[in-house]
């Protein structure tokens, strides 16, 4: 069990079978009754029946609310539809929302839980690497708008997170690779065992136990960071490593073209190039110096697809200016002074940002 501690409460991340969900609900003080299960059609096909069965066996009446898979469901329109489904089912203030799925389902279901009747109990049941190590931990919920990602939402901690490692076995290869981008990001931020395990054991990540161990350790990194800083006033911002570039690329390519993880994989390499440039005081060029080369070598294992030809350098750089992490003082970047040593850099020369982007684009794919 990995504890997460916020000013607004405490919750646990359990790495165990979905079948334990009813026991955890009881432990959390909920009496069986109506339970909303927000999920998508893909995950519903794999795990909904089994989850509904164990819930019913414990006296719950599960009501599935199934949305289409993909980022398109993280919208205010789908939010309204799911809110209405929750109310139509007869939810009261003690009705839990179980978000069964990846990041989209967790963010959408979490925002519904945060707002229907001004707050229902929320349980995250993440079924992807991305969700298990990142999006289900930390209390961020929300949806996208036409103007960008995650622009409308709420901080809303779950009662608990139950991450079943067995669900990772059904992930498509592309989804595994995408999820590993956040695992690598956490390894770069934390250094230590996680980084070395990935560096030495990358080829063995196909083994379920090995993958589960890495995912658990990456989740613990996220839990430690958000426990120290729920509202992103300090250390939590470090979790945006690679994301200023990544979000810009994702937007410029058109949402759905690259996965979030693929865009972050490119973004991490840009962030590492920028880190090396700032350490050296000049464009780091085409080969990064120590200690950035070692970190960049791990990020390279993510092997994202090439940046689409249609994404011009200017479009990607322009998209950064629209990223919500912009500040009145100009763009801020999370960089690394060393492995495990992130910091926020402000007032970065534009030439270095451009060089970092060109490097990441060249080495991707």
Positions annotated as catalytic residues are: 118, 140, 182, 222, 232, 236, 240, 243, 247, 260
Q: How far apart are CA 315 and CA 306, in angstroms?
A: 16
Give the one residue of 22, 96, 138, 142 binding a second copy; rule: CB under 8 A.
Answer: 142
- Residue 105 near residue 72, CB atoms below 8 Å: no
Which one among 145, 207, 330, 337 touches a second copy, defined by CB under 8 A?
145
19 Cα distance to chain centroid: 24
Instruction: Rule CB under 8 A: say whether 318 interacts with a second copy.
Output: no
Q: Is residue 32 close enough to count as binding a second copy by CB under 8 A?
A: no
CB 166 within 8 Å of CB 19: no
Q: Residues 211, 288, 276, 291: is their CA dihedral positive or negative?
A: positive
* Measured distance CA(222)–CA(167) in Å, rounded: 20
Q: Report the C-alpha gap between 340 and 189 in whole angstroms.
A: 4
76 belongs to the binding site for a second copy (CB under 8 A): yes
Q: 92, 173, 209, 309: which one contacts a second copy (CB under 8 A)?
A: 92
Residue 150 or 197: the one with the smaller Cβ distance to a second copy is 150
Which range binds a second copy by CB under 8 A, 38-46, 56-64, 74-82, 341-349? 74-82
Chain residues 147-176 in contact with a second copy, contact rule CB under 8 A:
147-148, 150-155
326 contacts a second copy (rule: CB under 8 A) = yes
Nearer to a second copy, 77 or 196 (CB): 77
User: Is residue 94 a contact point for a second copy (CB under 8 A)?
Assistant: yes
**Sheet with 97-101, side-by-side order of all strands:** 2-6, 9-14, 160-162, 122-126, 97-101, 34-40, 61-67
Structure tokens at 270: 């840009």
Stated length of the chain: 365
Contact between 293 and a second copy per CB under 8 A: no
Phi-psi region of 14 (alpha: psi -120 to 50; beta: other; left: phi over 0): beta
Q: Which is nearer to a second copy, 41 or 115 (CB)?
A: 115
What track of x and - describes contact with a second copy for positions 2 through 31 (by CB under 8 A)?
------x-----------------------
Identify the residue whose tokens are 């509904």: 52
Chain positions contacting a second copy, by CB under 8 A: 8, 33, 76, 79-80, 83-84, 87-88, 92-94, 114-119, 140, 142, 145-148, 150-155, 324, 326-328
């Amino acid at each position: 069990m990995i504890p997460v501690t916020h000013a607004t409460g405490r919750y646990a991340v359990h790495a165990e079978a979905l079948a334990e969900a009813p026991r955890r609900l009881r432990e959390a003080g909920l009496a069986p009754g109506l339970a909303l299960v927000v999920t998508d059609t893909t995950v519903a096909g794999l795990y909904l029946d089994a989850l509904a069965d164990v819930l019913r066996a414990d006296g719950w009446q599960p009501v599935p609310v199934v949305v289409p898979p993909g980022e398109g469901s993280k919208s205010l329109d789908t939010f309204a539809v799911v809110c209405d489904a929750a109310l139509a089912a007869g939810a009261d203030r003690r009705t839990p929302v179980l978000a069964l799925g990846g990041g989209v389902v967790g963010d959408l279901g979490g925002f519904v839980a945060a707002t229907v009747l001004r707050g229902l109990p929320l349980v995250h049941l993440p079924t992807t690497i991305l969700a298990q190590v990142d999006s289900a931990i930390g209390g961020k919920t929300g949806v996208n708008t036409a103007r960008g990602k995650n622009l409308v939402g709420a901080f809303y901690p779950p009662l608990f997170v139950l991450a079943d490692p067995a669900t990772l076995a059904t992930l498509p290869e592309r989804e595994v690779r995408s999820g590993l981008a956040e695992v690598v990001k956490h390894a770069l931020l934390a250094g230590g065992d996680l980084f070395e395990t990935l560096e030495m054991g990358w080829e063995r990540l196909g083994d379920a136990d090995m993958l589960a161990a890495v995912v658990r350790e990456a989740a613990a990194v996220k839990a430690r960071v958000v426990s120290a800083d729920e509202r992103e006033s300090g250390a939590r911002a470090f979790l945006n490593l690679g994301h200023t570039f990544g979000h810009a690329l994702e937007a410029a390519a058109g949402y759905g073209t690259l996965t979030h993880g693929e865009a972050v994989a490119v973004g991490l390499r840009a962030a590492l190039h920028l880190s090396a440039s700032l350490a050296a005081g000049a464009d780091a060029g085409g080969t990064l110096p120590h200690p950035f080369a070692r970190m960049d070598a791990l990020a390279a294992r993510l092997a994202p697809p090439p940046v689409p030809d249609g994404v011009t350098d200017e479009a990607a750089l322009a998209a950064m200016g629209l990223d919500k992490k912009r500040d009145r003082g100009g763009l801020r970047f999370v960089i690394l002074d060393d492995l495990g040593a992130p910091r926020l850099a402000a007032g970065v020369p534009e030439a270095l940002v451009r060089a970092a982007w060109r490097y990441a684009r060249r080495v991707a794919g």
